[in-house]
């Protein structure tokens, strides 16, 4: 990995250079997605089962994971592992409880009540990638905030393996997290099933969770009919470190990020040439001991960088412009520096808070804004599973005292029907007074 020297005036160019625009080459995927969604919308479960056969290569009789399959899953997963999932669940739940919003109402002027009613979304679908691998952390991070929000029904959907079964760890995680149903459908057909339902399954109101290009494009396609979470780009870490940071940790954390996939990016920003050189060396050494060699080669060589900045002020500026998904703050007194961070999905403070601690354990959500979108968006949270309604009450006297001004405003925008709706109420009141 190259070491690049950076001064303040270089920041703009670096950030622009790193911006990855979504490829426009989704035509074929989009065409197929549209076909799948339309057919499932019109033909229902029959079509879903046919797509599972055609695309996943297995024949199913029913889309639903049965109680017996849940039992079997718990029996096949070691108790120690279930307990780890349960403990992670408790941490995630405890953190997300803080995000729960309450309705509020005010009555600051006589005859006027204003407020905001906060209610959970009724039905939510969670997409979980599957097949051979299991992603229990994805299950926990999506289902738990929905559960905390008070969502009535949470449905997990995930592709089955060749044995026609959902990975047992996914089932155990979904059950521990409190999902109400598990469906055996992956891909665009999974998203279509969630969004429009079938004879045997009622459509959801919102879909969250990661997936491949078909899943991502299908989510985009159904958006509007249902809500979706943000469509995530490749994962990233940025480590802002001063001369006292321990190079072995920095290298390990860069590699942990880089192993996700070939497009993952791992960036070190430091004011220390010495640290940069040590990290470069440690990366090479540590990489040899890891399993995902070919992915690491790609992501470390093509997507990653070490930036040596002229001073830490420039470092903070660069970090805020990059707006990384994950930020490790390996600096002296990280709590004191926290408020200098404006844009980041999750911020890890100090040398004993490595990024994987957040992926699995600490409690905050691991679904985070990528590709600089932390400048305007937030981690997945309880707020993504609730919605607000404004509430307005004026009594007769309150409306009467301002009705003239509202009519004036409405007429100024050329909407005399709006003015009339107010005027009629005032008129009637005058009638009342005159009788």
Site for its own copies in 275-334 (CB under 8 A): 286, 289-292, 296, 334
Question: Does 235 count as an annotated binding residue?
Answer: yes
Residue 198 DSSP symbol: B
Q: How far apart are CA 12 and CA 170, in angstroms?
A: 43
- 121 within 8 A of 206, measured Cβ to Cβ: yes
Q: Which is nearer to its own copies, 55 or 399 (CB)?
A: 399
195 in Cβ contact with 226 (< 8 Å): yes
Least Cβ distance, residue 59 to its own copies (angstroms)? 28
The Cα–Cα gap between 320 and 307 comes to 14
Stretch 35-74 residues interacting with its own copies (CB under 8 A): none
Beta strands in 195-244 (DSSP E): 206-208, 227-228, 236-241
SS3 227: strand
Q: Which of 110, 294, 376, 433 binds its own copies (CB under 8 A)?
A: 376
Q: Among residue numbers 63 through 122, which ones bind its own copies (CB under 8 A)?
A: 80-81, 84-85, 87-88, 94-95, 98-99, 104, 106, 108, 112-114, 116-117, 119, 121-122
Under rule CB under 8 A, residue 150 binds its own copies: no
Among 28, 102, 335, 434, binds its own copies (CB under 8 A): 335
Quick check: 352 binds its own copies (CB under 8 A)? yes
Task: Give the shortest CB-3-to-its own copies separation in angstroms.
Answer: 21
| Contact present, 369 and 379 (Cβ < 8 Å) | yes
- 326 in catalytic set: yes
In the complex, minimum distance from the CB of residue 164 to its own copies, in angstroms, rounded to a whole number: 22
351 is in an annotated binding site: no
Q: Is 170 in the site for its own copies (CB under 8 A)?
A: no
- Binding residues with its own copies: total (CB under 8 A): 125
Does 23 participate in binding its own copies (rule CB under 8 A)?
Answer: no
SS3 state at 166: coil
Assign residue 377 a region (left: φ > 0; alpha: ψ between -120 and 50; beta: otherwise): beta
Site mask, its own copies, residues 208-247, x = CB under 8 A? ----------------xxxx------------------x-
| DSSP code for 118 | E
Is residue 378 a contact residue for its own copies (CB under 8 A)?
yes
Q: Does residue 269 interact with its own copies by CB under 8 A?
A: no
Residue 412 CA: distances (Å) to CA of 89, 400, 408, 409, 415 = 55, 19, 6, 5, 8
Please report whether residue 261 would count as binding its own copies according to CB under 8 A: no
In terms of DSSP H, where are the helices of 98-224?
A: 136-149, 168-177, 187-196, 213-222
How many separate helices (H) and strands (E) can be counted in the chain?
17, 14
Active-site pick, 236, 259, 325, 328 = 325
Candidate ranges 141-149, 179-187, 311-319, 342-350; the one touching its own copies (CB under 8 A): 342-350
Q: Which of 272, 358, 430, 433 binds its own copies (CB under 8 A)?
A: 358
| Crossing angle of the two packed helices 79-97 and 168-177, in degrees rounded to 10 | 40
Q: Segment 403-432, which members bind its own copies (CB under 8 A)?
A: 405-406, 408-410, 412-422, 424-425, 428
CB of residue 330 to its own copies, shortest distance in Å: 12
Query: How far apart are alpha carbons 189 and 173 in whole angstroms?
Result: 23
**How many CA atoms are closer than 13 Å to the CA of 177, on its beta-carbon side?**
32
- DSSP labels, 259-300: TS-TT-EEEEEES-HHHHHHHHHHHHHHHHT-S-HHHHHHII
Q: How far is the CB of 60 from its own copies (least distance, A)?
A: 26
Residue 130 binding its own copies, by CB under 8 A? no
Q: Is 257 annotated as a binding residue?
A: yes
Segment 176-215, which members bind its own copies (CB under 8 A)?
205-206
413 labeled part of a ligand binding site: yes
Which residues are bridge partners to 114 per DSSP?
106, 392
Residue from 377, 372, 376 nearest 11 by CA? 372
Nearer to its own copies, 49 or 374 (CB): 374
- To the nearest whole angstrom, how small is the minimum distance from the Cβ of residue 41 to its own copies? 10
Kindly state the tokens that stand for 268: 């070190």
Q: Are 208 and 384 in contact (CB under 8 A)?
A: yes
The DSSP call for residue 23 is P
CB of 352 to its own copies, least distance (A): 4
Q: Is 326 among the annotated ligand-binding positions?
A: yes
Does the annotation place 64 within a ligand binding site? no
- Please report how close the Cβ of residue 67 comes to its own copies at its closest, in angstroms: 24
Of 96, 189, 326, 366, the active-site residue reads 326
**Sequence ranges of the binding site for substrate:** 235, 257, 260, 326, 359, 413, 418
**Sequence ranges of the binding site for Zn(2+):** 257, 260, 359, 418
Active site residues: 325-326
């Amino acid at each position: 990995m190259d070491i690049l020297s950076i001064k303040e005036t270089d920041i703009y160019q670096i950030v622009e250079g790193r911006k990855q625009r979504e490829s426009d080459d989704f035509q074929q995927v989009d065409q197929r997605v549209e076909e799948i969604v339309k057919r499932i919308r019109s033909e229902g479960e029959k079509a879903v089962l046919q797509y599972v056969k055609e695309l996943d290569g297995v024949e199913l009789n029913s889309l639903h994971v049965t109680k017996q399959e849940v039992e079997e899953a718990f029996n096949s997963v070691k108790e120690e592992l279930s307990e780890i999932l349960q403990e992670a669940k408790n941490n995630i739940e405890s953190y997300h409880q803080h995000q729960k919003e309450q309705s509020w109402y005010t009555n600051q002027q006589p005859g006027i009540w204003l407020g905001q009613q906060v209610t959970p979304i009724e039905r939510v679908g969670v997409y979980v990638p599957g097949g051979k691998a299991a992603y229990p952390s994805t299950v926990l991070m999506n289902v738990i905030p929905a559960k905390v929000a008070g969502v009535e029904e949470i449905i997990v959907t995930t592709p089955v393996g060749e044995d026609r079964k959902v990975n047992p760890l996914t089932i155990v995680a979904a059950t521990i997290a409190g999902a109400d149903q598990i469906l055996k459908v992956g891909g665009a057909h999974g998203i279509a099933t969630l969004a429009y339902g079938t004879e045997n399954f009622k459509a959801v109101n919102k879909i969250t969770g990661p997936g491949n290009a078909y899943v991502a494009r299908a989510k985009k396609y159904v958006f509007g009919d249902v809500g979706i979470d943000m469509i995530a780009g490749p994962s990233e870490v940025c480590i802002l470190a001063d001369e006292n940071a321990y190079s072995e940790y920095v290298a390990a954390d860069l590699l942990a990020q880089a192993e996700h996939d070939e497009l993952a990016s791992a960036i070190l920003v430091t004011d220390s040439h010495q640290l940069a050189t040590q990290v470069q060396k440690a990366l090479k050494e540590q990489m040899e001991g890891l399993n995902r060699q070919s992915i690491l080669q790609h992501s470390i060589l093509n997507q990653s960088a070490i930036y040596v900045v002229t001073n830490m002020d420039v470092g903070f500026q660069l970090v805020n412009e990059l707006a990384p998904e994950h930020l490790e703050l390996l600096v002296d007194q990280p709590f004191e520096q926290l408020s200098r961070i404006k844009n980041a999905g999750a911020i890890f403070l100090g040398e004993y808070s490595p990024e994987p601690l957040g992926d699995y354990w600490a409690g905050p959500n691991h679904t985070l804004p990528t590709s600089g979108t932390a400048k305007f968006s937030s981690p997945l949270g309880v707020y993504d599973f609730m919605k607000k309604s404004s509430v307005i009450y004026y009594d007769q006297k309150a409306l009467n005292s301002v009705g003239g001004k509202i009519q004036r405003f409405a007429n100024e925008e050329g909407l005399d029907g709006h003015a009339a709706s107010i005027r009629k109420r005032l008129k009637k009141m005058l009638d009342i007074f005159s009788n």
